[in-house]
Structure 1
Amino acid sequence: METTTGKPGSLRNILVRLLLFGVLIIVVRFAYVVTITGESCKVVDFCFFSLPETFNFIIAGAGPGASAIAANGALQTTNRSDLYTSKGWIKAVNFYSSVFQDLISEGYLSEGSKSLCVQTPTGQDVHALKQVGVEDSIGIFKKASRPLVIKALPNRVPFDDNTFDFVFSGGGRLDQLSRPLELASEIERTLRPEGFAVVHIEAKDSYSFNSFLELFNSCKLVKSHDIDGLDSLMPYIREIVLKKEIEILGLRGDEKPKPNDDSETKCWVPEHKQELVQNAEPLIMEEPLKPWITLKRNIRNIKYLTSMADISFKNRYVYVDVGARSYGSSIGSWFKKQYPKQNKIFEVYAVEADKAFHEEYSLKKAVRLLPYAAWVRNETLLFEINRDLGKNGNHNRRGMGRIQPSGGGGNNGGDVNMIQGFDFANWLKSTVTERDFVVMKMDVEGTEFDLIPRLFETGAICLIDEIFLECHYNRWQRCCPGQRSSKYEKTYGQCLELFTSLRQSGVLVHQWW
């Protein structure tokens, strides 16, 4: 009697499973290439056939590409020709054709220009260029829409330096990007010297307009004017024409005065920032008898910069809390919850020398702790932890830490430790740039009279867009009517002079509690 081993059947099952697995891989790969990347299927993509260029899936709610198509009136369809004949598409093409015809008549564009359209989901502007005779045109977006638009990320445009005579950014607004500087740098890189870049933006104020210009390092502003928009959602837009210079120009914006011999480290606050200061809430000119009430109520009157101007064209968003104390003291209780951020994500830095608060920050991954004292240079300092006066007049509560005067005098019954101070102004200059949006809160127990002049000396003051400053003086005490604080030598008048000098220099500063 023969015995059946079953080995051929087992081998056959293994081969069938391997074959089915291979087919599954091909199907998944095919689905990814066609429906996710928007590319046509090729042999190198493990596909057995390819789709015609006019075929494309449009998925409702599938990211910015799909929403942009819907916004332009296109119907959800699997036929690209339906998109090209929709009312929304035709309206957009006619709009851009009119724009390009005007640019041709003004000499910024010609039929022979090698042209690039950036952030264009479906390529109406590319089609419009070809319609007015600029045949050598292509568009880029994070999802391809062939044959007009190829796939490219804003920070990685797949073309060589100095490739294009003309670059256009229309419907895909730069202010919607998380890092508009990346695309601005790529526009400059791929644009040839003396070539033109034309950008449509919704510049709501002079601050946002100048923030946009500051994104470009080697382009000169040629023209800026308002034109009618494409639809009621944007009834008018700002058209900006830039020309690439042969030499790098540096940051653009309000025209800056010629530097003097003594201005190497100082900066000049531009006019668009000075306008914000003029619209800020008035300073409290008379010394309050109950500062713990008056200054705290003043917070309601503060006009935040972000309530007066659009910050969308800034490259990064940074909040620096100098003298942060605990996380809940001002970062968690005020900045995270109350400061109007215009839906921007901020990098948060906490500067706090008191070791009692350091462990708490180790649990806050979104906050970078600088466990040192902000100072005018790098050196070891005496640091006193004050004891606040309780209701009975005794020093029985842990107060704010402050740098002691040289010689170690002025101890108010607190603990004195040796700590490391660092040059705060130099740190700021190495951490942020003029293209970043920087908000600062400063509560440093009197050291503001040292730090603010240092920020002016080094020019670091011009890197700060908005300051919330608590100025410490010999104020009236809550515990003891008729008695002033003995911790500080400065007067309210000297604090007022500090605030006034900051505003006169174009710095948006608020009196803080």
Structure 2
Amino acid sequence: MSNQSFFPPNLYIPVTNLCRRRHLVRAIFAGIFFFLARQVYLSTTTTITTTTTTATETRNSFEPELDTQLVKCYSTVFQNLIHDGFLTLHSKTLTVGIPILEFSAALRESGITDAKYTKKNVWLPFRNHTFDFEFSSHTGLDCSQFPGQFASELSRTLKPDGYLVIHTESKDLYSLNSLLDLFDSFKLIRSREISVPHWSIQHVREIVLKKQGILRRRRSVAGECSVPAYKKKLIQNSEPLIPEEPMKPWVSGKRNLKNMKYLPSMADIRFKTGYVYIDVGARGYGSSIGSWFKKVYPKQDKSFKIFAVEADKRFHDEYKSKKRITLLPYAAWVRNESLFFEINRAPNHYNEEKGKGMGRAQSAQTSTYFMGDLNKVQGFDFADWVKKSFRETDFVVVKMDVDGTEFDLMAKMVETGAICLIDEMFLECHYDPKEKCCDIEMDSKYDNGFKDCLELYSSLREKGVLVHQRW
């Protein structure tokens, strides 16, 4: 049976900071309880001489009480796991998450005595292969700021053939498959919704994994991308491609931008090991990064590592003062080699050093005329850099505006499988329009038409990349 059959239909739930909200609610209730307890204590204590409460009793009166309803809920969970053979009375057990007191009481009620408890959801202070059974509550992996590292720790401390049970409040298929990708040496045994009747738990899916030495099969990065059904569904639910060449591209571009359905607005991206935004042809900071990505793109409270790929030296100084942005002062290309950039200027003035800006890249070996040192830049193999820098478990977003070079770059990324590592792309495809402006004789700047661009967009979506048309 495939993994997909375990999961419910793809439902999108707007992602909010559930962990912070849950902790805030608990803190408020704890504060109210403390205030009421203090008022009762003061009202029953008239004088110091009549107080018979000892220091120990006073301290114990303010210790947190067990939530008996929650203990009962988790006791039922553990007993069901014992009944199904995943947990035994002699299992060396680890539970991760809060509340620890309730977990401890629930395990004791279930007959489990050899157990450890921790609130840490990144690094675990235990030796390799320590536990037979591990349990991560909905406040464990769900709330971890570093789910990839935490998953590695759970795998490290679990014995071979041991069982890992994860409770998650995530529903959509994208996030559930992202969660499974974190545990590549585990076999999925069961995934089901369970009822935990408690006010602090809204929805729980229980996932049972067994640790094995065989890696789970993933999508290929050396050829064709394997596109699962849940990802095809996401792409189908995104905005449709514009099939006809627009008469006014700038107007269609603004309208299309408003209609875009971003991947994080359709799916939960919490179970990714890293979050990356690559702006290829970044120009200035305000061109895309500052004006659009940081203000508009939905990030679900995740911190993205930003790369600005820009060969034009005029923009380099601007990025020196920008924190958390890595400037790659090169031209994205299909090889590591020197390049010349075309300059948008009047015909027959090839030796001018000034122009309207950089245009298409040309290999220095194939350039037919000298364009000056200002226009000579270093190109780097973009597809190779992507493959060496990122993993399938990362969430990678790319914006690309490279003035016609996109056809060369996309062909290389498809050939090498680097395209399989891209989750979402905003691609500006350059073409020669059918309708020429004015009565001025103009040379064809690009070799491709709108139909070629449409085929490029369609082929990328077929390979599992949620690509958007950008003007």
TM superposition score normalised by structure 1: 0.76
Corresponding residue for 1:137?
A: 115
Which residue does the alignment assign to 2:410? 452
Residue 302 in structure 1 maps to residue 280 in structure 2: no
Task: Write the deviation string for residues 365-405 of structure 1: whole angstroms up to 9, x where unpaired.
Answer: 2210000011111111112243599xxxxx99734432037
Superposition pairs for residues 54-133 of structure 1, below 5 Å? 67=24, 69-70=26-27, 75-76=33-34, 79=59, 85-86=65-66, 89-133=67-111
Q: Tell me, yes or no, if structure 1 residue 408 matches structure 2 residue 367.
A: yes
Say if 2:207 is the partner of 1:240. Answer: yes
Q: Show structure 1 runs of 5+ residues with no match.
A: 1-62, 142-152, 390-394
- C-alpha distance in structure 2 between counterparts of 1:481 and 1:377, whole Å: 40
Distance 1:465 1:396, change over 3 A: same
Contact 1:204 1:309 (C-alpha < 8 Å) held by counterparts: no
Partner Cα distance (1:136, 1:320) in 2: 48
What CA distance in whole angstroms lies between the structure 2 residues aligned with 1:410 and 1:127?
Answer: 80
**Structure 2 equivalent of residue 13 of structure 1:** none
Aligned counterpart, 2:47: none
Q: Return the offset for 1:502.
A: 1.0
1:399-424 superposed Cα distances (whole Å, 9 cap, x missing partner): 4432037743699x999722111110
- Matched position secondary structure for 2:121: coil
Q: Provide the C-alpha distance between the structure 2 equivalents of 1:126 and 1:481, rounded to a whole number of angstroms.
A: 82
RMSD (Å) for aligned C-alpha atoms: 2.9
3-state SS, counterpart of residue 285 of structure 2: coil
Asked if 2 retains the 8 angstrom alpha-carbon contact of 1:115 and 1:165, the reply is: yes
Which of 1 and 2 has higher RCO (CA within 8 Å, sep 6+)? 2
Could you report, residue by residue, the CA deviation over 1:166-216 in whole angstroms, capped at 9, with x for unpaired residues? 100114141322111111111111111111010100122100000100111
Rg: which structure is higher?
1
Q: For 1:235-285, what per-residue CA distance to the aligned partner results, in whole angstroms no more than 9, with x for missing partners?
A: 32110000011x141566xxx6xx8xxx84543233332221111101110
SS in 1 for 2:71: helix
Percent sequence identity over aligned pairs:
52
1:210 to 168, 177, 200: 177
User: Any stretches of 5+ residues in structure 2 without a counterpart?
Assistant: 1-19, 38-57, 348-352
Q: Does 1:225 align with 2:203?
A: no
CA–CA distance in structure 1, aligned partners of residues 254 and 247 of structure 2: 13
Out of 143, 159, 163, the residue aligned to residue 196 of structure 1 is: 163
Q: 1: CA distance between counterparts of 2:314 and 2:417? A: 33
4+ long deviations beyond 6 Å: 63-66, 71-74, 413-416, 481-485
**Which residue is equivalent to 2:215?**
249
C-alpha separation between the residues in 2 aligned to 1:66 and 1:333? 33
Measured in 2, the distance between the counterparts of 1:80 and 1:369 equals 57
Name the structure 1 match of 2:317.
Answer: 359
Could you say which residue in structure 1 is the equivalent of 2:42? none
**Aligned partners of 1:387, 1:232: CA distance in 2, in Å?**
68
Please give the alpha-carbon distance, in whole angstroms, between the structure 2 residues aligned to 1:388 and 1:430.
41
Aligned amino acid, residue 144 of structure 2: L
Q: How many residue pairs get matched?
A: 423
1:437 partner letter: F
Look up the equivalent residue of 1:235 and give its one-letter code.
Q
Instruction: Supply the distance in 1 between the matched residues of 2:177 and 2:419 (Cα, whole angstroms).
Output: 18
State the shift of 1:287 in Å. 0.7
Q: Work out the CA distance in 1 between the residues paired with 2:204 and 2:28.
A: 17
Contact 1:361–1:367 (8 Å) recurs in 2: yes
Paired with 1:110 and 1:138, the residues of 2 have a C-alpha distance of 15
Paired residues of 2:224 and 2:463 also in contact (CA < 8 A): no
